[in-house]
Chain A
Amino acid sequence: MNHYFAFGLWIVFDLSVIALGAGAFFTGFLTYIIGKGDLKAIINPAVVIGFICYSAAIAMLGVDIGQPLRGWFIFWHANVHSMLTEVSFCITVYLGVLTIEYLPLIFSNRKLNEIREFNIFGDSLHHIMPLFAAAGTFLSFFHQGSLGGMFGVLFARPFAFREGFLIWPWTFFLFILSSIAAGPSFTLLCVWITQKVTGRELVKRDIFTMLAKISGWLLTSYIILKILDTISWAYGVVPRAGLSFMDFYEGPYGIWLMIAEIGIFGIIPAIILITPRLREKNALLIIGALMNITGIVLNRFIFTIQTLTIPVMPFDRFMSYSPSWQEWGIALCTIGYGVILFSLSYRYLPLFPQEVELNPVRVLGKVVKDSGLVKRR
């Protein structure tokens, strides 16, 4: 980062992990509010992934603001007209909600569960989980949207600027839709990697199919709206700014980025994930989910970096950005943190309720399908 690129790799990572962490709120919303009971098999890993994503994002933001000790200023001196204030409030409170959602799982640990107070408190929290799921949905909806809205209101940056509905630019709604399309795919991918690493079947195949279907249809809706948004931007905002479409695509940030984002990593995974014949094949399912995630990360990169590379003053020139090793280091730290926390959660907590049933073991010649796993109802 430098004086020109105040937003760099960390913000790309932030926006990406927050979008990928949307699997937590969306799975919670579908499970507890809509009543899709089958998703209970996947809600625990979704919550852990969400917690990892949001805590990593907040930790990285702490580094990004340069003066972490003054981070609380944004809460005390709240500018209620700023999209970023809304994002800061919502992601902080939502991390609190995710912590509350994580607690019953932590209290399900074999040793902790022996402490009666923890066990009963875990049950009590689980009993009122729909309330926390609803609060999480509300908070996530607004901060995912505001992250997009933040770019859409940049009037002086015609690449990002969009018209919209009331105070919300179209990017507000596109960011929400893209995050709920990518979140379930990311959860699916993490669970699949865990299956490969552990060599055990952790959830039934139909859960993967359901996640892929949800993700696929949401991605399809998003891509249709994204294409419409791009066309209306190209014929509306761009000519009004006195520019032509190709003025925005130069140097390393050529038109190939748009083709990659919408075509290769948008339309193709959408087709794979919504077509039953294709998503039934394991390899295609994983490729589809991975391409979906890549497309959303690319979208966040384009909005963050390409917006800043394009000249807006007569004396400006087209810039390019390459992260420093310090930026890579901090960003990779968050991935390491995520892998460690997810591994520890898998090792010590009953992350996958179907695991015992899917992997029966023989004890003294008898097949055991229930090893005393804590099941909260």
Chain B
Amino acid sequence: MVPFVFEWAWDAGHLIFMGLLYLVLGAISLGLLYAFVKTWLKLRTSNDKFQSS
């Protein structure tokens, strides 16, 4: 069951194939996380400015 594949086996095929897949999925997830956090920070900053004015 590890890592997230029903018939997981610790061999080169699984490690390379799933490793690359998780690498790409990780990069995409990090990109999305960056966009969400940046949006949240910008919104918070602009809200603070709006309240202080």
Residues of A within 8 A of B (CB): 76-78, 80-81, 85-86, 89, 93, 96-97, 100, 116-117, 120-121, 124-125, 127-128, 131-132, 134-135, 138-139
The smallest C-beta distance from B28 to any residue of chain A, in angstroms, reads 5
Partner of A117, one of B5, B14, B28, B39: B39
Q: Which 7 A-B pairs have the closest CB atoms?
A: A80-B17, A124-B35, A124-B38, A80-B13, A121-B39, A131-B31, A125-B35
Which residues on B sit within 8 Å (CB–CB) of A131?
A: 27-28, 30-31
The smallest C-beta distance from A65 to any residue of chain B, in angstroms, reads 19
* A135-B24 contact given A80-B13, A80-B14, CB 8 Å threshold: yes
* A128-B31 contact given A81-B13, A86-B17, CB 8 Å threshold: yes
Which residues on A sit within 8 Å (CB–CB) of B35?
A: 121, 124-125, 127-128
* A124-B28 contact given A80-B14, A80-B17, A81-B13, CB 8 Å threshold: no
A135 adjacent to B28 (CB under 8 Å): yes
Which residues on B sit within 8 Å (CB–CB) of A96?
A: 28
Q: How far is the CA of A125 from the CA of B39 in the complex (A)?
A: 9
Q: What sequence of 0s and 1s flags, for each residue 2-36 of chain B, a beta carbon within 8 Å of any chain A beta carbon?
A: 00011100000110111001001101101110111
Q: How far is the CA of A76 from the CA of B7 in the complex (A)?
A: 8
A116 adjacent to B43 (CB under 8 Å): yes
A93 adjacent to B25 (CB under 8 Å): yes
Q: How far is the CA of A204 from the CA of B17 in the complex (A)?
A: 43
B28 adjacent to A97 (CB under 8 Å): yes
Which residues on B sit within 8 Å (CB–CB) of A120?
A: 38-39, 42-43
* A124-B13 contact given A78-B5, A96-B28, A138-B24, CB 8 Å threshold: no
Chain B: interface secondary structure? helix
A-B contact pairs, 28 of them (CB 8 A): A78-B5, A78-B7, A80-B16, A89-B21, A93-B21, A93-B24, A116-B43, A117-B43, A120-B39, A120-B42, A121-B35, A121-B36, A124-B34, A124-B36, A124-B38, A124-B42, A127-B35, A127-B38, A128-B31, A128-B34, A131-B27, A131-B31, A132-B28, A134-B27, A135-B24, A135-B28, A135-B31, A138-B24
Which residues on A sit within 8 Å (CB–CB) of B46?
A: 116
Number of chain B residues whose Cβ lies closer than 8 Å to a Cβ of chain A: 24
Q: Which residue of A lies closest to B34 (CB)?
A: A128
Partner of A77, one of B7, B21, B24, B42: B7
A76 adjacent to B17 (CB under 8 Å): no
Q: Which residue of B lies closest to A97 (CB)?
A: B28
* A78-B18 contact given A124-B35, A125-B35, CB 8 Å threshold: yes
The smallest C-beta distance from A100 to any residue of chain B, in angstroms, reads 7
Which residues on B sit within 8 Å (CB–CB) of A125?
A: 35
The smallest C-beta distance from A294 to any residue of chain B, in angstroms, reads 33
Q: Which residue of A lies closest to B12 (CB)?
A: A80
A100 adjacent to B28 (CB under 8 Å): yes
Additional pairs, 14, CB under 8 Å, beyond known A93-B28, A121-B35: A76-B6, A78-B5, A85-B17, A89-B21, A93-B21, A93-B24, A100-B32, A120-B39, A121-B39, A124-B34, A128-B31, A128-B34, A128-B35, A135-B28
Which residues on B sit within 8 Å (CB–CB) of A76?
A: 5-6
Which residues on B sit within 8 Å (CB–CB) of A80?
A: 13-14, 16-18
Which residues on A sit within 8 Å (CB–CB) of B38?
A: 120, 124, 127
The smallest C-beta distance from B14 to any residue of chain A, in angstroms, reads 5
Q: Which residue of B lies closest to A86 (CB)?
A: B17
Q: Which residue of B lies closest to A75 (CB)?
A: B5
Max count, chain B CB within 10 A of own CB: residue among A80, A86, A131: A80
Q: How far is the CA of A80 from the CA of B6 in the complex (A)?
A: 12
Q: How far is the CA of A77 from the CA of B9 in the complex (A)?
A: 12
* A135-B43 contact given A80-B13, A124-B38, CB 8 Å threshold: no
B17 adjacent to A78 (CB under 8 Å): yes
Q: How far is the CA of A89 from the CA of B27 in the complex (A)?
A: 15
Q: How far is the CA of A76 from the CA of B5 in the complex (A)?
A: 6
The smallest C-beta distance from A230 to any residue of chain B, in angstroms, reads 31
